[in-house]
A and B are shown apart, each in its own frame.
Chain A
Amino acid sequence: MRRKGFLGALLIALAATALFIGCSKKEQTIKIGFNIPLTGDNPMVGEGSKNAGDIVLKALKAQGGLTVKGQKYPVEFIYVDNELKAESAVQAALRLIEQDKVLAVVGPQGSGRAIPAGQVNNDNRTPMISAWSTNPDTTLNRPYVFRACFLDPFQAPVAAKFAKEQFNVTKTAILYNLEDDYSKTLAELYRDSWQAANGPGSVVVFDSFGQRDQDFSAQLTRIVNSGAEMLYLPVYYNFVALIVPQAKDLGWNKPIMGADAWGSADLVPLSKGSVAGYYFTTHYAAAGAVGKTKEFIDEYNASYGYIPDDVAALTYDAVNIVLQAIQNAGLSGDLQKDRNAIKDAMAALRNYDGITGKMNFNVQGDPEKDAVVVRISEAGEFVYVTSLQP
């Protein structure tokens, strides 16, 4: 009995501390929520987003807050973990909206979380901007939901067109992650545009693997022996680092084309240079960047010891878009009125000059911007090749 009492007391004490951590209240602050995956399968995505947020916050602290219509307001960023789960992302969104009473939410980053959380944000009339979700459904018919990146239906066709011209081939193989909607969508769109350009039968292998697979030898054996002249690999960088060396071990020596999920600082160290010479479509090129982009890269590198990846750069843009919209809209003190005003201000932004390019939001809240193709150099840098227009 005594033990039970002790345990009970322990639990209550824990709950109390947790509550205490959870509810820190301040007056007259601009609160922005981050709905990001700090745990789960891809914690790097969350880490990059959080680091980008911290850099913005540090700059704001140095200025003494955000100046809105001539008045300085302190700014607070609230990072909430969504564990890379859909249901958790919904809870996190509700927590930020109802409990923390944020003005706007940045994230979730991946489409699997951004689609349901976008619904919640739209229903509760709180502006949300996903930095990285490339699926059209995220913003479709949701006036309160925006994004900072281009869409899959744009990325896949331009990648197919580029690959066709660059490698001068007609037969392609595609390997994608079945359990990842991002990867699956890109793979299907690429297949369709490749077949439209090269006729039926030009996609010789269209194969997949599972989220936690580590051995791809059976799929790769099929691809190597299929007569494919190139491989399209729209998968996350951690899979790239496993797949490319395994493909080479099985005798693959033809070009490989990747997508924006390759664009991580970890790609080259993880694959130990085996990706050198391959191309991928992405949002920005870190190597050879100039101006604001370079400043951000340098500061990030100095603070965290590595070159920021896409998701960090896009999050940086996303946060700044929100801050810009707040500055344009002004603050009235009434939460719902401010949220509506911020939404309108975001939709009205014209030629916003972000570090990942110039952006205009269209009716759906999607930016119109260019995709960049980079080549991975022998030194492991992402070298700018060309920009592709929609």
Chain B
Amino acid sequence: MLTTFLQNVFNALQWGSFYSMIALGYCLVYGVLRLINFAHGDIFMTACYIAFFIATALLGAFSGGGVFVFALTLLLTMGATALVGITIERIAYRPLRMKGVNRLYVVITALMVGFILENGNLAFLGASARRFPDVIEKHIWQFGPVVLTNLKVLVILAAFAVFGLLQFIVQKTVLGMSMRAISYDKFAIPLMGIPVNRVITFTFALGSGLAAVAGILFGMSYPVLDPYMGMIIGWKAFIAAVVGGIGDIKGAFIGGFILGFIEIFITAVFPSSFKDLISFVILLIILVLKPTGFFGVARSTKI
């Protein structure tokens, strides 16, 4: 019993890490723009594919893999995905923002961008699912009754590292401060001489870079890539972000782990066919009791 419990704690930590990393990306964009970037799950999927191609090429060039190839893949993928994010923002979102339309129309545009990424991928890369190459060699470690892999540990550490880095950027750097400033008041901030568009571009680059980190680690852990892989995990990560309190980095991070733990432990205790049913009922109850999530701040409503 204890064995199963301990093993499931690690299972949940790994699964929650992915929710957290994706939720952080949602949260960044949402925090600055009040925009639910529904394309984020598909940017994550795109990152997986980019990482797939880069890693395959690098493994061809430097046979064997290892830490060097992993680091290089990570950097290149982050750069490329950030470019994708910036392009989407420039082409699809910015013109709408400039016109000052209802934000729900921007959300629909985001959904459409997601469709294009998914189905464009299917149309151009073909129907065959792909297998992510083994960038680093997998080791299985047995700690008493608990079985871990080096990958599992790497994923969990990465999630915490990403969170720490993000927290630093947002709290301590000038860009981060500008991001927070825009989220407080987007009308007064341009008057202060802050280049709003540049900050927003940076936000998208950062958010997509995060999706890239999640994407490459996801590809290594669950190595079957298909064009629709980002959709549901994206929706669920968004839910996690909201439960944590969207707009707050700490909230999104913890929300991801909450959802991960709920899902894994429900599957472990109840028949797993009830997983979605029970986990969503729990989320519903959380939201009814704490309507702004765990760390969300109720926005003052003007009268």
B158 CB to closest chain A CB (Å) equals 16
Q: Are A46 and B233 neighbours in the complex by a CB distance under 8 Å?
A: no
Main secondary structure of the interface of B (DSSP, over half): helix
Q: Is A379 engaged at the interface, CB distance under 8 Å to the other chain?
A: no
Closest to A37 in B: B127
Partner of A214, one of B130, B134, B229, B264: B229
Q: A44-B127, A215-B11, A217-B11 are in contact. Are A178 and B273 (CB under 8 A)?
A: yes
Total A-B pairs, Cβ < 8 A: 96
* Interface size of B in residues (CB-CB distance below 8 Å): 42
Q: Are B7 and A208 neighbours in the complex by a CB distance under 8 Å?
A: no
Q: Is B140 engaged at the interface, CB distance under 8 Å to the other chain?
A: yes
A13 CB to closest chain B CB (Å) equals 21
Q: Is A368 engaged at the interface, CB distance under 8 Å to the other chain?
A: no
Chain B residue contacts of A249, Cβ below 8 A: 138, 140, 147, 149, 152
B267 CB to closest chain A CB (Å) equals 4
Q: Are A218 and B224 neighbours in the complex by a CB distance under 8 Å?
A: no
Chain B residue contacts of A271, Cβ below 8 A: 131
Q: Is B53 engaged at the interface, CB distance under 8 Å to the other chain?
A: no
Q: Among residues 197 to 225 in chain A, which have CB atoms less than 8 Å away from a CB atom of chain B? A: 207-210, 212, 214-215, 217-219, 221-222, 225
A352 CB to closest chain B CB (Å) equals 29
A136 to B285, CA, bound (A): 42
Q: Is A180 engaged at the interface, CB distance under 8 Å to the other chain?
A: no
Instruction: Convert B196-239 into 0s and 1s, putting 1 for each residue whose CB lies closer than 8 angstroms to a CB of A.
Output: 00000000000000000000000000111010110111000000
Q: Among residues 259 to 303 in chain B, which have CB atoms less than 8 Å away from a CB atom of chain A? A: 263-265, 267-268, 271-273, 275-276
Q: Are A269 and B131 neighbours in the complex by a CB distance under 8 Å?
A: yes
Instruction: Convert B6-29 into 0s and 1s, putting 1 for each residue whose CB lies closer than 8 angstroms to a CB of A.
Output: 011001101100000000000000
Chain A residue contacts of B263, Cβ below 8 A: 218
Q: Are B119 and A270 neighbours in the complex by a CB distance under 8 Å?
A: no
A169 to B7, CA, bound (A): 26
Q: A212-B228, A242-B222 are in contact. Are A218 and B273 (CB under 8 A)?
A: no
Report the 9 A-B pairs with minimum CB-CB distance, sorted nearest first.
A43-B127, A217-B11, A218-B267, A212-B232, A47-B127, A218-B264, A218-B268, A214-B222, A251-B147
Q: Which residues of A contact B (CB under 8 A)?
A: 38-39, 41, 43-44, 46-47, 178, 207-210, 212, 214-215, 217-219, 221-222, 225, 238, 241-242, 245-246, 249-251, 266, 269-272
Contacts A/B (CB < 8 Å), 22 sampled: A41-B228, A210-B275, A215-B15, A217-B11, A218-B12, A218-B264, A218-B272, A221-B4, A221-B11, A222-B4, A225-B4, A238-B224, A241-B129, A242-B223, A249-B140, A249-B147, A249-B152, A250-B7, A250-B147, A266-B129, A269-B131, A270-B131
